[in-house]
Amino acid sequence: MLHIETVGAGPDLVLIHGWAMHGGIFAPLTPLLAERFRVHLVDLPGHGFSRDDAGPVDARDWAARIAAATPPCALWAGWSMGGLVALQAALDHPRSVRGLVEIANSPRFVAAADWTHAMTPTVLEGFETGLERDYRATVDGFLALELIGSPHPQSMLRELKARVFERGEPSLRALVDGLRVLEATDLRARLADLAMPNLWIAGRRDRLIRAAAMRWASQQTAHGEFVGIDSGHAPFLSHPREVADAIVEFAGRVARA
């Protein structure tokens, strides 16, 4: 069963977490957004309170299911892998997505001969191998990588470690298959098809998703915008007010469009 928690009042905003996380990871950001929006916090299948959902691990399937379970014409915001799901929803279900916010996400996660703004495939392969050997240590290593470039990374890492398993451990299948989704997905060629306004919020010090990749992505669409924040891969943890303000201001422009 897909778990979606709703808080706040106002225009609808669907918020989707990243790999190995859950909706509670947005705790610093959620109350700021709930002042202006009715926020729908999704736990992706295999994660958090959706841990026992046995559906396929597939971005297109997840996008379709979330679109069917949330109000139409909403603003969608996704972080990291959640941004990939939100982007897929915007492309496949444009009537459900009035505006799109991508937080530390790019249309292709891994590097290729024609795409240098990404991590090498060996990084994801290392995480996949590590999951089989030492589940928690691998997730901890990924958390540490996410916070490189953030202010006060050690204290933030302790907070993130405390939160990541507070809704139970994500299923191993969801984690392994999720890495394969990240490795295989390439939506660069479809960016020009985005029909709605879209905002790309990047961490300038992000070591996983480079700000240059997100700036490039924003320039491939007719209605793209780019915002850089002086953070690592999780700007909503280190700079929640800046992220919230960027989303609120963007939503205002979407409403006037």
* Rg (alpha carbons) of the chain, rounded to whole number: 16
- Known active-site residue 231: no
**The token pair that represents 103 in the structure block:** 């937080």
- Per the residue annotation, which of 80, 106, 150, 218 is the catalytic one? 80
> Taking a C-beta distance cutoff of 8 angstroms, is the pair 42, 160 a contact?
no
Q: Is 233 a catalytic residue?
A: yes
Q: Are 132 and 237 in contact (CB under 8 A)?
A: no
Of 91, 86, 83, 109, residue with least CA distance to 184: 109
**Catalytic residue of the set 96, 206, 218, 239:** 206
CA distances from 148 to 38, 66, 168, 208, 210 (A): 32, 31, 25, 9, 12
140 labelled catalytic: no
- Select from 126, 76, 135, 119 the least CA-distant residue to 101: 76
Residue 233 has φ and ψ, to the nearest 5°, of -75, -15
Please identify every residue annotated as catalytic.
Answer: 80, 206, 233
